[in-house]
Amino acid sequence: MKRIQFWMAACALCATSASAAPQAQKIPAFLEGADMPTWPGSPLAQRRAWQDREAAQAHRTLPGQTDATAALRAANFANLAASSWTVMDQDITVDLDVKNSQVTTDSVLTLHVTDAGVKSLMFYGDNGETWTASTVDDLPLTTTTGTLGTANSSYTVALPVAATPNTDLLLKLHRVVKLSCGQGFMGFLQCNTSGTYHWMAGSVGAMPYNDGHTPFTCKLHIKTGMLEVAAATGQPKGVDILPDGSKLWHFEQPERSEHNDAFAVAAYKMFEGKSADNQPIRVYTTNNYSGNASTIAKFVSDVLAFYGTHMAKFPWTNLNMIQLSDQFGGGESFLMGVFAIESVFDGAPDNNGWEETNSLLSHEIAHQWWGNFVAPQGLGDVCLSESMAEFSSCWYTETALGNRAQILTNNLSFAYTVAITEDKPVNSAGVYSAAKYVDIIYHKGSVVLDMLRREVGDTVMTQALGDYAATYGRDFATVAQLRAVVEKASGQDLAWFFTQWFSRVGLIHAQVSARPIQHDDGTWSVRVRVVQPADAKIKPYRFHLPVHIETIANAPIDLVMEIQAVADTPQVQEFPVPSAPLRVKCDWQRQLLRKFVVGTPGDVNLSGLVDGADLIDMAYRQGRGVVHTYGSGKTFFFPDTAWNELYDLTTDGLVDGGDAAALNDWFGTEAEEF
């Protein structure tokens, strides 16, 4: 191999003799399953807190709601009457007593009875609730209470005679409950009845015990004081002034959904904008934030337009954006209604909160498609809601903001810290209750879908998501069905991709090396070598490796190297380049979920030689790190997206003087022949 004079000059600035060949670089211990908290106040810590809160709401796994039960009823909304009875519609009037933290609901339920012999109806409830029931003509019915757990109860309504099969039955329910607003509540989760806002972001309607999925249409009527405004999911249908001066606000949800009866009350001002397709966008804010409502409405319109182009046309008639206090903790998306903390309603392109506004609200808006329009069928399909929403949000922010900060911090490709013993496959039914649920579903799941987009290309992914929405809209879907849709759109067999990324734990581990080759005719090429380890805990992956080569006299070159799923076998490819190469970057934009080490320790820029150029490149990265000590000496993870693990030679999570000293010991080391 010949080296050009530039390299020799660079090497002459440092040691001229190679030290003993060092051991191959190892993955830092803190990247291998360390349970490390995120840096307090960092964007990732904030987003993580939002995701934890949203996940807590999603983890209302109800008694009897097993994966098999959900699958039984999930073929199609039109076929949901496979159960003996189901709720089709609820007309709910809510009287929220703020002073006494008590809520009263009076509901008229339309039930469809399928089977003969239905003599009673069982509903979920909360301990301490008072339930009474009657027929629509006010014939009292007997209600009995059972215990489902420490905080939950069942309420069984006895019918006077067995219901007639294949008919509709009207039932009145009167419920009164004192609210502690804790996670133990089923029907009234995530509530608050003090301060500026009063909200009930949970299922206000009656929740049947008999099966896992019961989508229903809904009319919601909310009583407020004379100075308050109610905001809810669905279509606003006006307000009545009651004789005592209080108000009764009306909302209607004509679409069947399991997520359609949440509301909030405050001294709201409502700003109405329009989407590009002329659907109303209503922004409910308090006075402090009302001046920014038009900016938020424009932002929502932009997000809907992007998703309409890259996924499917917005499927609903309107969207209500509802501001809550920061105590709410993040955001939550119901059909035609998004609730979010007040701080993101202050976001604008000219202030520091704009990226947070983008990442949180675009995620919740994406749930209008993924989770509401197309719902996950079983517990193992939860990624079709949360991973899809986060992936869509990352795609939007990458385009709108011109940076990949959100997907990079989700990617944590250099620091996916879920240990193999705690990891779960993305499509595992067990992931729903995994301790690392947020890491697996929000972070890894979104990156897996982004890798799928890059595998098939943006055009094919857009077509596939449109087909997926068209096929399974207003329905439930599985990961297998998503795969079938993407395979049809791409014309590819993607069994390998879905097997290794949805059905297995872990991520790519690989050693990367590069060396320049000057040929006898003066031309140049670069050889790149990738080796995946033979480790019982780490299976090899098939992937496409982006290779970025910078040269002395020409523009950088971007190529792709196809890597097969083989262990402990070097895979080498040679790429012709127009002039002498300077450095090689493998997956330089961090598109893959992976952990890389360098095959020639110290050759951090993969030029084939440890020389002054490596030292110069390292100098640019001084102070970059993903591990920092804060406060009383506790170590925190900080997702510095410009940190490069190949430069962390001392494997302590920082690029500092210790790494420069280690590099000095290796000057003159040349990449082995391959």
Which pLDDT tens digit goes with each residue over 348-377?
A: 999 888 999 999 999 999 999 999 999 888
Which two structure tokens, joined as six digits, stand for 643?
């940190």
- Taking the C-alpha atoms of residue 452 and residue 490, their distance in angstroms, rounded to an integer, is 11
- Taking the C-alpha atoms of residue 285 and residue 322, their distance in angstroms, rounded to an integer, is 7
**Which residue, 208, 243, 267, sits at the end of a domain?**
267
The residue with tokens 């992956």 is 541
Task: Note whether residue 102 is domain-resident.
Answer: yes
pLDDT of the residue at 189: 56
Task: Note whether residue 629 is domain-resident.
Answer: yes
| 215 residue type, one letter | P
Is there a single domain that holds both residue 554 and residue 632?
A: yes
If residue 634 lies in a helix (H) or strand (E), which one and from where to where?
strand 634-637
Pairing of strands 167-178, 130-135: antiparallel
Task: Note whether residue 321 is domain-resident.
Answer: no
pTM (2 d.p.): 0.91
Taking phi over 0 as left and psi of -120 to 50 as alpha, with beta for the rest, 501 belongs to alpha
| 130 residue type, one letter | T
- Taking the C-alpha atoms of residue 168 and residue 88, their distance in angstroms, rounded to an integer, is 9
Is there a single domain that holds both residue 597 and residue 494?
A: no
pLDDT of the residue at 80: 42
Is there a single domain that holds both residue 30 and residue 47?
A: no
| 483 residue type, one letter | R
Task: Note whether residue 441 is domain-resident.
Answer: yes
Is there a single domain that holds both residue 101 and residue 158?
A: yes
- Taking the C-alpha atoms of residue 117 and residue 54, their distance in angstroms, rounded to an integer, is 40
639: Cβ contacts below 8 Å, ≥ 6 apart = 38, 42, 43, 44, 408, 409, 412, 415, 626
pLDDT of the residue at 416: 75
Is there a single domain that holds both residue 410 and residue 526?
A: no
**Which residue, 247, 267, 287, sits at the end of a domain?**
267
- Taking the C-alpha atoms of residue 665 and residue 173, their distance in angstroms, rounded to an integer, is 78
pLDDT of the residue at 642: 85
Is there a single domain that holds both residue 606 and residue 644?
A: yes
Task: Note whether residue 328 is domain-resident.
Answer: no
CATH number of the domain within which 465 lies: 1.10.390.10
Neighbours of 557 (CB within 10 A): 17
pLDDT of the residue at 56: 76
CATH number of the domain within which 249 lies: 2.60.40.1730
Q: Are the C-beta atoms of residues 497 and 448 closer than 8 Å to each other? A: no
Q: Domain containing 473: what range?
A: 43-51+375-502
Q: Phi, psi (5° rounding) for residue 29?
A: -60, -35
Is there a single domain that holds both residue 560 and residue 421?
A: no
Low-confidence spans in the chain with pLDDT less than 50: 1-22, 60-76, 78-81, 183-186, 413
Is there a single domain that holds both residue 485 and residue 524?
A: no
Number of structural domains (the chain) is 3
Is there a single domain that holds both residue 512 and residue 480?
A: no
Is there a single domain that holds both residue 548 and residue 497?
A: no
Which two structure tokens, joined as six digits, stand for 156?
């069984």
**Which residue, 214, 244, 267, sits at the end of a domain?**
267
Task: Note whether residue 215 is domain-resident.
Answer: yes
pLDDT of the residue at 85: 87
Residue-level length of the chain: 674
- Taking the C-alpha atoms of residue 279 and residue 263, their distance in angstroms, rounded to an integer, is 20
Task: Note whether residue 250 is domain-resident.
Answer: yes
DSSP 389: H
Task: Note whether residue 210 is domain-resident.
Answer: yes
pLDDT of the residue at 188: 54
- Taking the C-alpha atoms of residue 231 and residue 213, their distance in angstroms, rounded to an integer, is 26
No. of helices (H) and no. of strands (E), the chain:
14, 31
Which two structure tokens, joined as six digits, stand for 244?
């005592």
Is there a single domain that holds both residue 105 and residue 209?
A: yes
**CA torsion angle 361 222 85 373 (round to 10):** -20
Which two structure tokens, joined as six digits, stand for 58?
């999603």
Which of 342, 316, 69, 329 lies closest to 213 in space, CA to CA? 69
CA distances from residue 36 to 5, 316, 628, 644 in whole angstroms, order as listed: 46, 41, 11, 19
Angle 301-323-389 (CA atoms, 0-180°, nearest 5)?
55
- Taking the C-alpha atoms of residue 176 and residue 315, their distance in angstroms, rounded to an integer, is 35
Is there a single domain that holds both residue 96 and residue 233?
A: yes
